[in-house]
A and B are shown apart, each in its own frame.
Chain A
């Protein structure tokens, strides 16, 4: 158990629908990152939050949005779903490491299938 909790583990939905993925970071971690893993695109960074504030944005579609709440859990909202959104969505939280490096600890992922 990495300490990063993601729900749901699996989700099957239809095109055009909206889903919400939830993430609870490791105790003490203030940063939350969202990544999308698909066969053709690999691991793509979507967005990062630090202590409730958006810190960095990657290749996140306008149909996707995220937020981090005061209790530090985060939600990734995916709307107007398309077949190509089928992927494994990871949440990670960061742990301060030596020499300023932050090790990302990943959750088990939420596998989204859009039919």
Chain B
């Protein structure tokens, strides 16, 4: 089974509106972390936001917030007040066994393309 699932086709949003990018995950670990990265057309990977499995509140970073629903195993990214520069590919990723330190790699989803229309 896929660890991280991002199934939305290319997403479009009007400038200044909010958009939600979906992510579901699969793990049997109790301690894990969820990450979102942005990859613009230039290719670099930019960290956006992090949510730990034990965090009681949803993470927020500026215009980014993470809608974390643990029981549903979903970690959707919400971008408020979209800007043209938000047009990019967005990747959801997970790190399992958060506190063991034994294996701290990230597993990535396939990504979602977001296009912001002026």
Interface residue ranges, A against B (CB under 8 Å): 2, 31, 33, 35, 42-43, 45, 48, 55-56, 58, 88, 90, 92, 94, 97-109, 111
Contacts and interface: CB of A to CB of B under 8 A. Distances in A.
Interface of B: 33, 35, 37, 43-47, 50, 52, 54-55, 91, 95, 98-99, 102-111
Nearest to B106: A104
A31 B102 CA distance: 12
B44 A99 contact: no
The SS class assigned to the A binding surface is: strand
A35 B47 CA distance: 15
A88 to B, nearest CB: 6
A48 B105 contact: yes
B44 A42 contact: no
A101 B50 contact: yes
Contacts of A111: 43
Nearest to A90: B45
A94 B104 contact: yes
